[in-house]
Structures are given as structure tokens and as C-alpha cells.
Structure 1
Amino acid sequence: MTSAAELVRDFVNTYDVEDDTDDLASPAELSVWLHERALTGPGDRATDDDLTLAVCLREGLRTTLTTGLPAAALQGAQQVLEEALRALPLRVRLTTAGPGLAPLAAGVRGGLGAIAAAVARAQADGTWRRLKVCAEGTCRWAFIDASKNRSRAWCSMRVCGNRTKTRAYRARQHRTRPS
């Protein structure tokens, strides 16, 4: 079973910034993605409005998970995210496992609502603070920071961390070279 944080991470990663590829490029692809994760039934079909909502939710989450953003950029993203979340009403549900949130809607909106509910579950179980977006501007891949002190900045030190550090090194060398 996928954890709440993993579901949010996977949803954010439906768009690959570096390769400019989108797993949710059409309503049909959104329907398939949600169905593959058991968030919708086999007959549920997304509309263009559902796709627009999904992209707003995804990009709002990506920006919210990005550390070190200026307050103005973060505020704008949070407004977009809030609008998307308002379109996905949730209700409190009591189960033997305890209280949780469940989407009020069925179908695709319900599937997107389940992702919104996963945000609340990740906050409740402590994994929300471990969800991050890669600090490498050309990457922006979401990852779960499993480091002990939650200090990871890149999805991969080998790739993105190395790029960033190499770029910084070259910039320092360029500044210190005599003209």
C-alpha cells in the first residue's frame, strides 16, 4: 500500500520539469493515472475541467513543497492550491483506524480529493515535513527526505547535487581568476 506522502510525491512527479513530459497531458491520461492507483473506478472519465484542476493541485503542491522560495512566490502558489482544494471538498470520516478525511465527491473529483486527503494524512503522520522538491531549478522532482535531520536538498546528490555544486564551483573559479 502506498503511503500518503508517496501518493503526493507520485502525483507531483507526474510532470517532469527537466524532460518537459507530463503524464497528465490529457483528460484520458488523468483518468488512467487515477484508476491505476485505485482512486477512481474503471468507468470514471476525466473532463478538461478535471485536468485543469489536477494541474493546479499538482503545481500548487510542487511550489508549496519547494524550500527557500520568496514569500511572494509561495503566497501566489498557496492561493492557487487553496482554490484547487476548495473544489475538492472533504468530510471527516470515522473508522476503526481512527478519524480521517474522505472526499465528498465520487469519480475523478473524488480521486483528486483523495490526493488532498493524503496531504492531511501526511501532515498527521509526520511525513509532510519530509516531502520536498529538489533544489536544482532544472529538476524540481519531488522526493521524501529520509535523512535523519531532514537536510536533503536534492532528489539525488549524484545528479542534481553534483550539478549544483559544480556550477557553484565554476562560478567561484570564474570570479577569482585574474582578467
Structure 2
Amino acid sequence: MSGPEHALLVRDFVNTYDMQCDIEEFGAPSDLSGWLAERGLVASGASANESDLGLAVALREGLRTAMIDRPRPELEGLLAALPVRVSLDGPRLVPLHRGVRGGLARVATAVMASAADGTWERLKACRATGCRWAFLDTSKNRSRAWCSMRMCGNRTKTRAYRERRRRDAVP
């Protein structure tokens, strides 16, 4: 799916944990630093610690929650832990820290860029309980609710249909 790079970065960051399959991409600090390095957010060889990992997971889950239930003051607190400064070269926001914290701050600047260009409102998490996969809603009217109509949307609609039939069948 296409979209602005910063919005896709936020989506991919949130999707580092697959709730449905219980697959965690950030199982260890080295997984976090590797993920950030693969995306050019930190220099190769950057080293994360347990504190960085805890912040990354909290940020990820805060973003996921905010994609479902806007606004979230908890998310603002997490973003405050990743300070940036304004650079007139661009202009752009530049992380104050280097290394993994700086890489996480780059994710935070991607959130800000998404808010600035309107894609933040299109970043959503699947409404299906147990899924919560992040996606960029590119529908014209911004009404998409599921990561995939074929999977989660179909399951949700089928479940609702069966429930209505069951209720109607009860005398």
C-alpha cells in the first residue's frame, strides 16, 4: 500500500507486534536496534538497552491505542521522552539524542509529519478485537475499519449476522 514515507514508517513501527499471531519483533534490545538500523533511523551497530526497548514498546502500544481512540494524553507523555529541536535546514525536526533514542525520536517526528499533512487521521488500527493491525486508510471517505475486509471485516460481519439470526430465532 502506498502513502507518505513517514506515515508508512509509523504504521510499520506499530506492526512490529502482531497480536493475532503473538509475534513480537522487539523480543530483545538488539532486535530494536536492528529494526531501526534497517530503516536508516540509526547508524549500523547502534546498541539498544532494556530501557530503550521498554520505551519503544510503550511508544508502539501508545500509538496503536491512539489510532483506535484519539486523542491519548499518555502518548504525548511518551513523545516528550524523545526530545527534538527545530533545524532551519529544511526546516525539520532533529532528534536531540543520538543512537537508539534518536531513532525512536525519528519515529516521533514521523508522527508529527503525519499529523501535519493529515495522514495521522488516516492511520488506524483494525477494530477487530485481537487483531489491532495498523493500516493507512486510503478510502475516499476515511471510513475503513478493518485491516482487511477479506479477513477481519468478513469475520466481524459474519459474527454480527449470526448473532442477529440467533436473536431472531429465539421466541
- TM bucket by the smaller chain? over 0.9
Instruction: Select which of 29, 32, 55 maps to 2:31.
Output: 29
User: Which residue identity is paired with 1:23?
Assistant: E
**Aligned ranges 1:59-138 → 2 under 5 Å:** 59-66=61-68, 69=69, 78-95=72-89, 98-138=90-130
SS at match of 1:132: strand
1:12-59 deviation per Cα after TM superposition (whole angstroms, max 9, x unaligned): 000001011110111010011000000011121000000000001000
Instruction: Select which of 46, 49, 64 maps to 1:47.
Output: 49
Shift of 1:2: 6.6
Aligned mates of 1:118, 1:126 — CA distance in 2: 12
Partner of 1:152: 144
Aligned mates of 2:115, 2:75 — CA distance in 1: 16
Partner of 2:170: 178
Instruction: Select which of 143, 155, 158 maps to 2:135.
Output: 143
User: Which residue identity is paired with 2:166?
Assistant: H
1:118-177 deviation per Cα after TM superposition (whole angstroms, max 9, x unaligned): 001111122111100011112100000011111100110011100000010111111111
- Is this contact kept in 2: 1:56–1:80, CA < 8 A? no
- Is this contact kept in 2: 1:5–1:128, CA < 8 A? yes
Give structure 1 stretches of 5+ with no counterpart. none
Shift of 1:81: 1.9
Aligned mates of 2:131, 2:64 — CA distance in 1: 12
Shift of 1:64: 0.2
Partner of 1:3: 5
User: Which residue identity is paired with 2:80?
Assistant: R
Q: Which runs of 4+ in 1 moved over 6 A?
A: none
Aligned mates of 1:174, 1:105 — CA distance in 2: 57
Give structure 2 stretches of 5+ with no counterpart. none
- Is this contact kept in 2: 1:4–1:118, CA < 8 A? yes
Percent pairwise identity: 57
User: Which residue identity is paired with 2:150?
Assistant: R
Shift of 1:99: 2.2
- Range that drifts further, 86-95 or 25-34: 86-95
Shift of 1:93: 1.6
**Cα RMSD (Å):** 1.6
- Range that drifts further, 83-92 or 32-41: 83-92
**Alignment length (residue pairs):** 169
